[in-house]
Amino acid sequence: MGIKIQLLGELAVYRDGDRVSLPRSKRTRALLAFLALAARPHRRDRLCEIFWELPDDPRASLRWSLSKIRPFVNTPDKNRLIADRERVSLKTDDIQIDIKSIASKLESPDLSADDLTAINSELKEPFLEGIDLPEQELFQQWLLAEREEVGLLRGKILSRLSTHPDISPPEQLRWARYWETLEPYNPQAATQLLKKIDRLGLTREMASIRPKMAERFRKAGMAWSPYKPAEVEADPVQTSAHLLERKLLTEQKIEFCTASDGARIAYATIGEGPPIVKAANWLSHLEYDWDSPIWSPLFRELSLDHRFIRYDERGNGLSDWDVENITFESFVSDLEIVVDSCGVDNFTLLGISQGAAVSIEYAVRHPEKVKQLILFGGYAAGWRIGATESVIKEREAIMTLTKVGWGQDNPAYRQIFSSTFMPSANANELAWFNEFQRLTTSPENAVRFLSVFGGINVIQQLKKVSVPTLVIHSLRDQRIPVKTACDIASSIPKARFVGLESDGHLLLGREPASKVFVEEVRKFISNTR
């Protein structure tokens, strides 16, 4: 007996080609879709948390929903819904799921233009239409991420249609327009559209649309090199900024040093002038950071008149991932070896997020090397320090969630992190950060990092900091409360506090707060020289 589950449009289940009538309960239908797409075991208590907002008996509600789902997926010869006392899973190896079938079909490089067009039409259908559960935050985060994944699949299809050899140039241009409209912050889509416009000799449209695209990426803080046909005169301002950016990227020098335990640590230097050393924080990548809507504007600014030094944390980025030792002490010693390898003294030390605690410890140990200390989004004590049992259980649940979801193509689990790092980010920025997380570390290391961060405690070191210190924090940071930063500033002798009008734990380059951050850093460095 063949079973097919349709997730595009309204949720539907077909058995031997006949559509079956699903339960009226929206939560039950949402649970079926979730189990079908995840296709792995889930703990019962976690499913209760995702789908029920503290009813009198969430486990009873889960049992009821499973009893309604079972007849649709089980057959006399096979039980596909597997549920024991602890876990629930839906075996989908012989269930046809429309979105998975489409993703599998797209792996073929030889699809015809008609095939791609047909798939694109299928993907226009809303994903799980009418299955939103606004009161269930975790489910909504998952649903949002899955819908964004469908958008990314459409982007891949439109990209292929815009260059398909069996399609005429005007038709390729039409698909390129659709792609750029769907993904306005995708540099490849923007460049492809300009190329198609240029190929058809639409010089007036080129002159109009090209500067608008450049302005859009600039405001978003994203690096993009506008396609420049010979017929278009170069904008002197844009050309100057572009040349400067390319010059900095070309000059970036990546090297490796070896920690005391043998781990290779990748570090990069760029620019000239008084040195700034940025302590590593989770997450980073010395190469991918330059395309980031978060870091690239900051790095470009600091590289203009400073020797800017940064490195990837062990277990992360270009540094060794397969390392035995991931501890707070190893984070500090890695900073020490990078500083020694670069041969710098009397430098400004910048610590972001957990890198702030590393920077505090380093400044206490080596006050003769650190001229100024800048802390952004930092904390002195991790989540285990003084935490209640409920907080510890919640964090441990997140660690479990990370371990099973981090490396998957489905970014739903990483979405939980990115939405707290950057609550005001748009869909494209969140999609970038989700993918960035996957590229920068493994799920195993992500869990190890989260565990180590929980045990950080440099509270007693704060009063020992003897260098000029600037503490900067987003006033509405949802990951690390601003009170934490105020406590740090009040405990470090003569530290200065600056609050930013932002809700981001990480600043987006397009935010006004990002510009204020750079201005405050420059002012602080200048005034304490």
Q: pLDDT tens across 84-138, in order?
A: 888 999 999 999 999 999 999 998 988 999 999 999 999 999 999 999 999 899 9
Task: Name the E strands within 330-378.
Answer: 347-352, 370-376
pTM over 0.75: no
Residues 297 and 510: their CA atoms lie apart, in Å, by 9
Q: pLDDT tens across 313-356, in order?
A: 999 988 999 999 999 999 999 999 999 999 999 999 999 999 99
The strand pairing partners of 13, in sequence order, are 5
* Biggest alpha carbon–alpha carbon distance for the chain: 79
> What one-character-per-residue DSSP string does 196-236 give?
HHHHTT-HHHHHHHHHHHHHHHHHTT--------TTSPPPH
Residues 374 and 303: their CA atoms lie apart, in Å, by 16
Given a cut of 90, is residue 460 above it in pLDDT? yes
Q: pLDDT tens across 213-227, in order?
A: 999 998 888 888 888
CB 350 within 8 A of CB 374: yes
The strand pairing partners of 374, in sequence order, are 350, 470
Number of folded domains in the chain?
A: 2
In a domain, 224, yes or no: no
In a domain, 411, yes or no: no
Given a cut of 80, is residue 246 above it in pLDDT? no
3-class secondary-structure state, position 6:
strand
Q: pLDDT tens across 1-12, in order?
A: 689 999 999 999
Q: State the sign of the Cα–Cα–Cα–Cα dihedral 165, 169, 174, 176.
A: positive
Q: Which of 37, 68, 99 is the last residue of a domain?
A: 99
Residues 191 and 196: their CA atoms lie apart, in Å, by 9
Q: pLDDT tens across 494-528, in order?
A: 999 999 999 988 888 888 898 899 899 989 998 86
Query: How many residues are recorded in the chain?
Result: 529
CB neighbours of residue 487 within 10 Å: 17
Q: Which residue has the higher pLDDT, 376 or 283?
A: 376
CA 31 → CA 80, 123, 135, 465, 492, distances in Å?
Answer: 15, 22, 15, 52, 50
How much is the CA Rg of the chain, to the nearest whole Å? 26
In a domain, 238, yes or no: no
CATH code, domain carrying 88: 1.10.10.10
In a domain, 435, yes or no: no
In a domain, 234, yes or no: no
Element at 389 (helix H, strand E): helix 389-405
Q: pLDDT tens across 169-191, in order?
A: 778 888 999 999 999 999 999 99
CA 446 → CA 42, 243, 332, 403, 440, distances in Å?
Answer: 20, 37, 18, 7, 9
CB 215 within 8 A of CB 202: no
In a domain, 113, yes or no: no
Domain assignment of residue 311, given as a range = 252-384+456-527
> What one-character-per-residue DSSP string does 390-458 give?
HHHHHHHHHHHHHHHHTTSS--HHHHHHHHHH-TT--HHHHHHHHHHHHHH--HHHHHHHHHHHHT-B-
The closest of 497, 501, 496 to 515, measured between CA atoms, is: 501
The predicted structure's pLDDT at residue 311: 96
CATH code, domain carrying 500: 3.40.50.1820
Residues 398 and 408: their CA atoms lie apart, in Å, by 16
Local structure of residue 350 (DSSP, 8 states): E
Please compute the mean of the pLDDT values over residues 180-209 and round it to a whole number: 85
CB neighbours of residue 228 within 10 Å: 17
Q: Which of 99, 120, 138 is the last residue of a domain?
A: 99
Q: Which of 70, 99, 128 is the last residue of a domain?
A: 99
Please compute the mean of the pLDDT values over residues 491-496 and round it to a whole number: 95
pLDDT band, very low/low/confident/very high, at 425 (cuts 50, 70, 90): confident
In a domain, 147, yes or no: no
In a domain, 220, yes or no: no
